[in-house]
Amino acid sequence: MKSIIQTYHHIPLKIGALFLMLTLGCSSDAEPEDMPMEDVVFDTSEARVFQMGFTTWPFAPTQLAVDETNAFLMANGDIYSEHIDSEIPWSAWINDTDLPIAFTDMVAHRTARRTSGTRMTLSISLLNLDRNDLMPDFDGQKPDYTALNDETIVEAYHKHVRYLVAQLQPEYLVIAVEVDGLLKNAPEKWAEYKLLISNVKSRIKTEYPTLPIAESVMLHNFYRPDYDTQQSAIDEVGNYVNTMDFAAISFYPFLKGLQRTSEVQQAFDFLHAHVDVPIAFAETGHLSEDLSIEGFDLFIPGTESGQATYMQTLFTNAQAEHYEYIIWWTHRDYDPLWETFPEDLKDLGKIWISTGILNEDGVEKQAYSSWKAAFSK
């Protein structure tokens, strides 16, 4: 049990980060458009051109759940995602001291999973859950710096990324996660961030010249940004993404209040109009049942058919635009894991509890049939 807790101790960070994406547009009493599945159908008569898979997020805090998650990922995907959204051992990297055991154990667990032979994309969080500063160290403290691109920070993060890449040997690297959050929440640090990550990327490129590298951005913020002037934010993010090897997209339509198929398609059309490089969905998902959180006065409608329709729309766009890959965040609803969360995190933890394509008992939802049909091609 200890190893499981160490491996997935970062779970509250992901929940917090997702909650921060919520906008006022999410709270709605409108019913989603329940479009018949035949209206949005991924054409399975032609060979699939994109890879598809899940993250390693488990549905319960047990070794059995981890093992079942791993088996599901390998049987139902040709790629999977290791998403490292945990603390960074800044002090160890800066001072050349021993790495924390919690960190090395977590990496060793993920390295062992690589023996499956399935392709893997690695996402690493540089920013904290507020997306306004660096991820803290294991003691909760952030490193001292004058500017984000201080050489000590550049060198430490380069060591961090190089270590993870060397251990995990990914086919794709998302070197920093949801970086447009920094532009929104701490715009005064944006220029320094770009210098920091450019320096680290150039070093990793020298060491791994064939490894595609990107930084993920949130489509639900890129599309209709609610900060700065809309066009300046769109131009900055779009131009920046187009300097990368590929566009790594994070997208949870319900977090922007996008429920109707036409609304979701408008977001895809926006993405295709503003991005010139190959596209990958580094993480995505959609509700399969209503989400109601009384403590936040939050209600977001959801249905199994709506989830399946979003998935079909996603696949159709991925096929037409030749996406690199799609990562669906969680394969199974994680009610047993949610039950273990501290009380002050349970409201946050409910936000995407129903986004799996299996329910909490492992029963297939409508979206699982859509997934299997696409994966078979």
Q: What is the pLDDT of residues 93-124, one digit of tens each?
A: 999 999 999 999 999 999 998 867 799 999 99
- pTM as predicted: 0.91
Report d(CA 325, CA 313) in Å as an integer.
Answer: 15
Q: What band does 41 get if pLDDT is binned at 50, 70 and 90?
A: low
Q: What band does 59 get if pLDDT is binned at 50, 70 and 90?
A: very high
Give the range among 22-26, 250-254, 364-368 with minimum mean pLDDT. Answer: 22-26
Report the CATH number that the domain containing residue 51 is assigned in CATH. 3.20.20.80
286 pLDDT above the threshold of 50:
yes
29 pLDDT above the threshold of 70:
no
Both tokens of 150, joined, read 């201080």
- Look at residue 237 and give its three-state secondary structure: helix
47 pLDDT above the threshold of 90:
yes
- DSSP H helices, 45-88, are 63-75
295, 343 in Cβ contact below 8 A? Answer: no
Range of the domain at 112: 2-375
The torsion angle over the Cα atoms of residues 63, 56, 50 and 211, rounded to 10 degrees, is -120
Give the range among 4-8, 63-67, 220-224, 370-374 with minimum mean pLDDT. Answer: 4-8
- What is the number of helices (H) and of strands (E) in the chain? 15, 10
Give the total number of structural domains in the chain. Answer: 1
Q: What band does 358 get if pLDDT is binned at 50, 70 and 90?
A: very high
53 pLDDT above the threshold of 60:
yes
215 pLDDT above the threshold of 70:
yes
Q: Select the more confidently predicted residue: 174 or 256.
A: 174
Report d(CA 12, CA 86) in Å as an integer.
Answer: 9
137, 153 in Cβ contact below 8 A? Answer: no
To the nearest 10 degrees (0 to 180), the angle between helices 261-274 and 304-321 is: 30
Tell me what percent of the chain is helix, strand and coil, each rounded to the nearest 5.
45, 15, 40
Give the range among 6-10, 130-134, 295-299, 331-335 with minimum mean pLDDT. Answer: 6-10
Listed ranges 6-15, 81-90, 112-121; the one with the highest mean pLDDT: 81-90
Q: Which residue, among 137, 112, 147, 157, has the nearest Cα to 3 in the 3D structure?
A: 112
The pLDDT score that the predictor gives to residue 345 is: 83
22 pLDDT above the threshold of 50:
no
Q: Write the pLDDT tens digit of every residue in 30-40.
A: 444 444 333 56
Q: How many CB atoms lie within 10 A of CB 374?
A: 22
The pLDDT score that the predictor gives to residue 12 is: 45
4 pLDDT above the threshold of 70:
no
Q: Select the more confidently predicted residue: 21 or 67.
A: 67
The pLDDT score that the predictor gives to residue 211 is: 98
Q: Write the pLDDT tens digit of every residue in 117-162.
A: 799 999 999 999 899 999 999 999 999 999 999 999 999 999 999 9
15 pLDDT above the threshold of 80:
no
